[in-house]
């Protein structure tokens, strides 16, 4: 028995419990489709309280995987910068990118882990949803959510860039919220 345990330790196969995550944050929003080209690109990500990138939850395939951010640099530049997209491996980009979502209610789950899979500490996190409305016109939703301890709920606010973008193109994303649910709750 002792020899078997020593062999497991020597092989690196010791039973070390994985560090549990704090719970799950669900970022929800209503997505609309804007007719025409040079629009409908989207990225959703989490940052630490002081703006450090934590993890991407979703990015449209054209923008992230097929190089749309290079063809159209005005396509979600805030996420491109925050995520370090140009330095990511194809596998890392593939893990977060997907086809343009269908209009309607969308909910994305964050398991309170970093892009590398490590659990984050309790604290306040920022969730962001950036959408490309038409060429350089975009919307950036931001909200804060406390993770760890009790359940929490938050509503994000929108910033249209430039300011007149909302009136000119109509909404791409609305009703952005986040809900934290601790594990076991």
For the stretch 153-179, pLDDT in tens is: 999 999 988 776 666 666 889 999 999
Domain annotation covers residue 58 = yes
Q: Which domain holds residue 144?
A: 22-182
Q: What's the rounded Cα separation, in Å, for the pair 54 and 180?
A: 16
- Decide if 153 is inside a domain: yes
Domain total of the chain: 1
Torsion of CA 4, 9, 12, 18, to 10 degrees: 100
Domain-embedded: residue 10? no
Counting as low any pLDDT under 50, the low residues of the chain are: 1-17
Residue 17, pLDDT score: 43
The reply to whether 8 falls in a domain is: no
pLDDT at 8: 33
Q: Put residue 169 in one of left, alpha, beta given phi > 0 → left and psi -120 to 50 → alpha.
A: alpha
Express each pLDDT in 99-119 by its tens digit: 878 999 999 999 999 999 999
Q: Is residue 17 part of a domain?
A: no
- Predicted local distance difference test score (pLDDT) of residue 94: 77
pLDDT at 64: 77
Going from the C-alpha of 80 to that of each of 15, 74, 99, 171, 179, the distances in angstroms are 38, 10, 17, 22, 25
On whether residue 155 sits in a domain, the answer given is yes
Residue with tokens 């020899």: 3
Instruction: With respect to residue 2, please indicate whether it lies within any of the assigned structural domains.
Output: no
Three-state SS for 128-184 is EEEEEEECCEEEEEEEEEEECCCCEEEECEEEEECCCHHHHHCCCEEEEEEEEEECC
pLDDT at residue number 2 = 38
- pLDDT, residue 93, reads 78
Distance of CA 56 to the CA centre of its chain: 3
Q: Identify whether 1 is part of a domain.
A: no
Per-residue model confidence (pLDDT) at position 138: 87
- Confidence (pLDDT) at 16: 36
How far apart CA 173 and CA 30 sit, in angstroms, is 6
């Amino acid at each position: 028995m002792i020899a078997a345990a020593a062999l497991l330790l020597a092989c690196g196969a010791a039973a070390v419990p994985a560090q549990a995550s704090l719970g799950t944050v669900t970022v929800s929003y209503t997505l609309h489709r804007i007719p025409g080209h040079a629009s409908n690109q989207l990225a959703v990500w989490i940052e630490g309280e002081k703006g450090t990138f934590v993890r991407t939850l979703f990015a449209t395939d054209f923008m992230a995987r097929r190089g749309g951010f290079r063809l159209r640099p005005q396509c979600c530049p805030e996420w491109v910068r925050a995520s370090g997209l140009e330095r990511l491996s194809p596998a890392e980009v593939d893990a977060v990118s997907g086809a343009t979502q269908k209009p309607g209610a969308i909910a994305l789950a964050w398991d309170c882990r970093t892009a590398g899979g490590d659990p984050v500490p309790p604290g306040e996190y920022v969730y962001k949803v950036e959408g490309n409305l038409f060429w350089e016109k975009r919307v950036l939703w931001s909200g804060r959510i406390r993770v760890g301890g009790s359940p929490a709920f938050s509503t994000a606010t929108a910033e249209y860039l430039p300011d007149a973008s909302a009136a000119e193109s109509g909404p791409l994303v609305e009703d952005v919220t986040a809900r934290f649910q601790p594990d076991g709750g």
